[in-house]
A and B are shown apart, each in its own frame.
Chain A
Amino acid sequence: MSYRKYPEIARWLLTRLLRQNDHNAVIGDFEEVYSDIYDSKGGLYAYLWYWLQVFRSFPKFLNNMIRRSNAMFNNYLKITIRTISRHKSYSFINVSGLAAGMACCILIMLFINNEFSYDDYHEKADRIYRLVDDIYAPGRGVLETATSSTRFAPFLLQEFPEIKNGVRFLQRRRLVEFNEKKIFEDNCFYTDASVFSVFSFNLMKGDPETALSDPRTVVLSESIAAKYFESESPMGNTLRIDNTDYKITGIMKDVPANSHFIADIFISIETLIQIPNVKRNFFDNWARHEFYTYLLLKDGSDYKVLESKLPAFIEKHAAEDIKTILGGSLEAHLQPLKDIYLRSDRFMELGQNGDIKYVYIFSIIALFILIIACINFMNLSTARAANRAKEVGLRKVAGACRNQLIRQFMGESFIFTVSALLISLFLVLLIFPFYNSLTGKDFGFDDLLSLPILAGSFTILFFVGFFSGSYPALFISRFQPVKILKGDLSAGSKSSSLRKGLVVFQFTLSIILIAGTGLVLDQVDYLKNKKIGFDKEHVVILPIRLMAVRSNYESVKSELLQNPNILSATVSIGYPGEIVAGDAITIVRPEGDLKTTVAMFYTDHDFIKTMGMKLVSGRDFSKDITTDAEEAFIINEAFVKNYQIENPLETRFMWGDKQGRVVGVVKDFQYKTLKNEISPLVIHIAPNNTRIFAARIKPENISETLDYIQEKWIELNPGYPYEYSFLDETFDKMYRSETKQGQIFTYFSGLAIFIASLGLFGLASFLIGQRTKEIGIRKSLGASVKSILMLVSKEFTILILIANIISLPASYMLMSKWLQNFAYRVDMDWRIFVLSGVFALTIAVLTVSFQSIKAALVNPANTLRHE
């Protein structure tokens, strides 16, 4: 018999598969045939045969193996189910706490996943960049806009071969008409014909190359087309937009909701170029920044390289225009398309962008809540260790090894976790409608099935199952059977310090969340109300559409003012929180004129009065002084501070060809969000440049006044749909994301404290349950209910107090970091920290005392008679 080399790996695999005792016989069979083949056909052939046989046998042997290991598994399962049903409240606390925590995590994951999916659907997303401007005006710092000049795209395309294509957008609100339908559409975008070759907007009808090449052509989104055209085919039809006829040359699928801008109607940019006046203003110089420029780079070109060439390019083409028209300088940057939604927060963004900071904050909250829920599980399991100890002892005596026990308890923890996950999915589905309104997203069942969410859920499952099962598994399985069976093991006493530590940790996290919530709400309230510098209540805003209204504003005003409920009225280019103009002015100074750009409100005489703003010095515009209409300017405090003007009321100005002087200084008011500092602003009478009509009304009889305004306005604006809004509502919209954040904070921190108290409740009920005899003896010796209450609550109270002490500096640090996002921030109120601590303490004490009162009220005879 010659020596034969056996395929060791294959054999090893076989021994793993055949866990039964007689696996040697089977391997013997393999090897008998193997040696036959080896001798007759050679080693290699035999080798391959062996492997092939192992593979052929694999599925069936595996199947067998699983079925064989069932025996023990069934026992574990039975014990787990018995444990669950015997300790219903304990199981309920465990599973519901975990489920709530997991539901939170899943919701937050959905949100984060959605935030990261923005603009993902564009096939060339990784090659598309937005060109944005930083405009430097002397004495005013930098204005970072999301927009740029129309001239960039064509000039850049000519000069840099690495740019493949460019698209420009101008977003406008337009009155769209077809037959009887007449509606203002917000998302009208003037754009280049190249839009469909750069972005992946799905054009269903029409030619993507040429659909928007001709002037007065439009492409509609599907839903807009359906809105205006019920039976007719929209293609080739004409649509009236702002009283001009446009030909419909294409229909596209609706722009997906996860886009940083939503376009409903694309209008060819040629339409604008054909209007001489518009062409001169927007297309023939570098100084206007109303358009958005997107560039498509060639494969493999680095945008950083291109960006580094931009200063020279600007110097060559644009610098002169900027200097003469704006009196400043310009820097251009490129933003990757995928970064715009989460990382760009510039002036004039195309839509409400997200914020990467919120994504981080949310992730942290999710993690906090998950940890709190896990701690519940660990605490309750270790606390109950003593009860399980007998089982462990018995199992060990019967021959269970530690590994098996670890597996059993891990398995138990996974059963809890899996059922918690199932419940949490159900919860998530229930919460969806509410969550959607909170986040402004549109989540549905389908989103739960998306790959990242499934992967995330499974990660949570394993993380939670492992993390919360590991301690009990390792701890309980270590018990020595002799000690246990001798009854030598006090109720998880060794683990009690760890348990206390975990409770402290849990409540520290909860208190941080509560304090954070308090502060966020405080700050949002501060932004909305404390320092706005004008009276935002009871002001009705009406957009001006007709030239006739704009030029006859005086008579319109006087007609409306006939109603005694309308206190005052004004016209303006915009209102605080909405649009403010910006233009170059020259400050006349003895040491030399200073040309700079400032924010401007074009208004009439009554703007300051109607908005309820306050003057710091000087006077308001006055009709009695006829020169006011031409020469008077009012500046804000920031203007005075910024340009270090000593005698504001003697300052002289040039704006275009107008000469003027400052007649008053208005107290700083918020016209942009207070995340940034209030910048210099000029108010000037220029009623021809106005867009809105604003009326301050009496707080009484609002609905009647509104009816009156509506009636008059429709009369004055024949043929236009009636629209109005309230100043406070539109103003508060500026802080929509902060408000939202505050709300989400509130709910999640509420949930955190709920889960933590749930755990405390379980822990308390368990520990008190162990002390029933002690309490009984104390009572029979004359202890009062109160003293027993104190006795039991004391321990927990100390823990919460420690948590308070730890969380104080932690939350202070975290919150001061958050507040740094704002130029104007509320003073951190020490009361918030105290209140959140007291709140947590109250909840904890209430939770514990529910159990302790129950224990203290029990008749000692009942507890002591036992046995």
Chain B
Amino acid sequence: MNLLSRSEEIMLLTILKLKENAYGVSIREQIRIDSGKTWSFASIYQPLDKLTKKDFVRKLKGEPTPERGGKRKYYYEITQEGRNALLEIKKANESFWSGIPEIAGK
């Protein structure tokens, strides 16, 4: 199986971190907090769509609220396959990093 891409990995981690409250706006905000970078919505939805297609995440319909102009939101929830994929990329990352002495340099 292919490894997750970097952005997919970030998505899954963020969704996990946000637990029940993972939807577009909150995911984007969390990423901003964690990385200091503001992503465009498209850069969030693209990996989310891919993950949905791969069944790594599930979409759950939320209720429409007035501050969203009366539009409902979709909450994202990680699936078991998603968790497995995360574990796999974690393992891979660890082995990539193992044996790297010190990159901070002298």
A22-56 contact mask (Cβ, 8 Å, vs B): 1 or 0: 10111111111101100000000000000001001
Smallest Cβ-Cβ distance to A39: which chain B residue: B67
B92 touches A (CB below 8 Å)? no
Do A29 and B25 touch across chains, with their CB atoms under 8 A apart? yes
Do A56 and B42 touch across chains, with their CB atoms under 8 A apart? yes
Q: How far is the CA of A30 from the CA of B25 in the complex (A)?
A: 8
B75 to chain A, nearest CB (A): 10
Do B40 and A26 touch across chains, with their CB atoms under 8 A apart? no
B55 touches A (CB below 8 Å)? no
A57 touches B (CB below 8 Å)? yes
Beyond A60-B46, A64-B49, whether A25 also contacts B74 by CB under 8 A is yes
B43 touches A (CB below 8 Å)? yes
A61 touches B (CB below 8 Å)? yes
Do A6 and B69 touch across chains, with their CB atoms under 8 A apart? yes
B37 touches A (CB below 8 Å)? no
Do A58 and B42 touch across chains, with their CB atoms under 8 A apart? yes
A21 to chain B, nearest CB (A): 11
* Across-interface contacts of B65 in A (CB, < 8 A): 32
Within 33-53 of B, Cβ neighbours of A (below 8 Å) are at 40-43, 45-46, 49
Q: How far is the CA of A56 from the CA of B66 in the complex (A)?
A: 25
* Across-interface contacts of B42 in A (CB, < 8 A): 56-61, 64
B96 to chain A, nearest CB (A): 27
B28 to chain A, nearest CB (A): 8
A1 touches B (CB below 8 Å)? yes
Do B25 and A53 touch across chains, with their CB atoms under 8 A apart? no
Beyond A53-B41, A60-B42, whether A24 also contacts B71 by CB under 8 A is yes
B72 touches A (CB below 8 Å)? yes
Do B73 and A25 touch across chains, with their CB atoms under 8 A apart? yes
Residue from A1, A32, A58, A64 within 8 A of B46 (CB atoms): A64
Within 81-100 of B, Cβ neighbours of A (below 8 Å) are at none
Q: How far is the CA of A6 from the CA of B64 in the complex (A)?
A: 17
B1-39 contact mask (Cβ, 8 Å, vs A): 1 or 0: 000000000000000000000011100100000000000
Do B41 and A26 touch across chains, with their CB atoms under 8 A apart? yes
* Across-interface contacts of A56 in B (CB, < 8 A): 40, 42
* Across-interface contacts of B23 in A (CB, < 8 A): 25, 29
Do A57 and B67 touch across chains, with their CB atoms under 8 A apart? no
B106 touches A (CB below 8 Å)? no
Residue from B40, B49, B68, B74 within 8 A of A32 (CB atoms): B68
B39 to chain A, nearest CB (A): 9
Smallest Cβ-Cβ distance to B44: which chain A residue: A29
A8 to chain B, nearest CB (A): 12
Do A22 and B41 touch across chains, with their CB atoms under 8 A apart? no
Q: How far is the CA of A6 from the CA of B71 in the complex (A)?
A: 14
A791 to chain B, nearest CB (A): 60
Do A29 and B49 touch across chains, with their CB atoms under 8 A apart? no
* Across-interface contacts of B68 in A (CB, < 8 A): 28-29, 31-32, 35
Smallest Cβ-Cβ distance to A4: which chain B residue: B69
A360 to chain B, nearest CB (A): 53
Smallest Cβ-Cβ distance to B62: which chain A residue: A25
Do A31 and B69 touch across chains, with their CB atoms under 8 A apart? yes
Q: How far is the CA of A57 from the CA of B28 in the complex (A)?
A: 13
Q: How far is the CA of A53 from the CA of B66 in the complex (A)?
A: 21
Beyond A53-B40, A60-B42, A64-B49, whether A27 also contacts B69 by CB under 8 A is yes
Residue from B40, B46, B67, B72 within 8 A of A25 (CB atoms): B72
* Across-interface contacts of A25 in B (CB, < 8 A): 23-24, 71-74
A694 to chain B, nearest CB (A): 85
Smallest Cβ-Cβ distance to B45: which chain A residue: A26
* Residue among B43, B49, B69, B72 with most chain A CB within 10 A: B69
* Across-interface contacts of B43 in A (CB, < 8 A): 57, 60
* Residue among B40, B42, B43, B72 with most chain A CB within 10 A: B42
Do A24 and B25 touch across chains, with their CB atoms under 8 A apart? no
Q: How far is the CA of A56 from the CA of B39 in the complex (A)?
A: 9
Within 674-700 of A, Cβ neighbours of B (below 8 Å) are at none
Q: How far is the CA of A1 from the CA of B67 in the complex (A)?
A: 8
B25 to chain A, nearest CB (A): 5
Do B40 and A35 touch across chains, with their CB atoms under 8 A apart? no
Q: How far is the CA of A60 from the CA of B48 in the complex (A)?
A: 13
Smallest Cβ-Cβ distance to B49: which chain A residue: A64
Q: How far is the CA of A40 from the CA of B46 in the complex (A)?
A: 29
Do B73 and A35 touch across chains, with their CB atoms under 8 A apart? no
B26 to chain A, nearest CB (A): 9
Q: How far is the CA of A1 from the CA of B28 in the complex (A)?
A: 24
Do A35 and B67 touch across chains, with their CB atoms under 8 A apart? yes
Smallest Cβ-Cβ distance to A52: which chain B residue: B40
Q: How far is the CA of A79 from the CA of B68 in the complex (A)?
A: 44
Q: How far is the CA of A591 from the CA of B43 in the complex (A)?
A: 102
Residue from B24, B64, B66 within 8 A of A26 (CB atoms): B24
Do B40 and A60 touch across chains, with their CB atoms under 8 A apart? yes
Smallest Cβ-Cβ distance to A60: which chain B residue: B42
Q: How far is the CA of A27 from the CA of B23 in the complex (A)?
A: 12
* Across-interface contacts of B71 in A (CB, < 8 A): 24-25, 27-28, 31
Q: How far is the CA of A486 from the CA of B40 in the complex (A)?
A: 53
B63 to chain A, nearest CB (A): 11
* Across-interface contacts of A53 in B (CB, < 8 A): 40-41
* Across-interface contacts of A33 in B (CB, < 8 A): 25, 28
* Across-interface contacts of B25 in A (CB, < 8 A): 29, 32-33
B74 to chain A, nearest CB (A): 5
* Across-interface contacts of B72 in A (CB, < 8 A): 24-25, 28
Smallest Cβ-Cβ distance to B66: which chain A residue: A1
Do A29 and B40 touch across chains, with their CB atoms under 8 A apart? no
* Across-interface contacts of A32 in B (CB, < 8 A): 25, 65, 67-68, 73
Q: How far is the CA of A25 from the CA of B52 in the complex (A)?
A: 15
* Across-interface contacts of A24 in B (CB, < 8 A): 71-72
Q: How far is the CA of A63 from the CA of B42 in the complex (A)?
A: 10
Do A29 and B66 touch across chains, with their CB atoms under 8 A apart? no
A622 to chain B, nearest CB (A): 102
Smallest Cβ-Cβ distance to A30: which chain B residue: B41
Q: How far is the CA of A373 from the CA of B13 in the complex (A)?
A: 61
* Across-interface contacts of A22 in B (CB, < 8 A): 59, 74
Q: How far is the CA of A59 from the CA of B23 in the complex (A)?
A: 22
A22 to chain B, nearest CB (A): 7
* Across-interface contacts of B24 in A (CB, < 8 A): 25-26, 28-29
A80-109 contact mask (Cβ, 8 Å, vs B): 1 or 0: 000000000000000000000000000000
Q: How far is the CA of A31 from the CA of B25 in the complex (A)?
A: 10
Q: How far is the CA of A25 from the CA of B74 in the complex (A)?
A: 6
B105 to chain A, nearest CB (A): 34
Smallest Cβ-Cβ distance to A33: which chain B residue: B25
B7 to chain A, nearest CB (A): 11
A324 to chain B, nearest CB (A): 88
* Residue among A24, A28, A31 with most chain B CB within 10 A: A28
Q: How far is the CA of A2 from the CA of B53 in the complex (A)?
A: 38
B85 to chain A, nearest CB (A): 21
Beyond A26-B24, A29-B24, A32-B25, whether A57 also contacts B41 by CB under 8 A is yes
A106 to chain B, nearest CB (A): 41
Q: How far is the CA of A33 from the CA of B25 in the complex (A)?
A: 7
Q: How far is the CA of A567 from the CA of B59 in the complex (A)?
A: 106
Q: How far is the CA of A36 from the CA of B28 in the complex (A)?
A: 14
B24 to chain A, nearest CB (A): 3
Do A29 and B67 touch across chains, with their CB atoms under 8 A apart? no
Q: How far is the CA of A1 from the CA of B70 in the complex (A)?
A: 13
Q: Can you sample 27 A-B contacts with CB below 8 Å?
A: A22-B59, A24-B71, A25-B72, A25-B73, A25-B74, A26-B45, A28-B24, A28-B64, A28-B73, A29-B23, A29-B24, A29-B25, A29-B41, A29-B68, A29-B73, A30-B41, A32-B73, A33-B28, A35-B67, A35-B68, A36-B67, A56-B42, A60-B42, A60-B43, A60-B46, A61-B42, A64-B46
Sort A-B residue pairs by CB-CB distance and give the 7 closest, nearest first. A28-B71, A57-B42, A29-B24, A60-B42, A56-B40, A28-B68, A31-B69
Point out residues on A near B: beta carbons under 8 Å.
1, 6, 22, 24-33, 35-36, 53, 56-61, 63-64
Known: A28-B71, A57-B41. 7 other contacts (CB 8 A): A28-B68, A29-B25, A29-B73, A33-B28, A36-B67, A59-B42, A60-B43
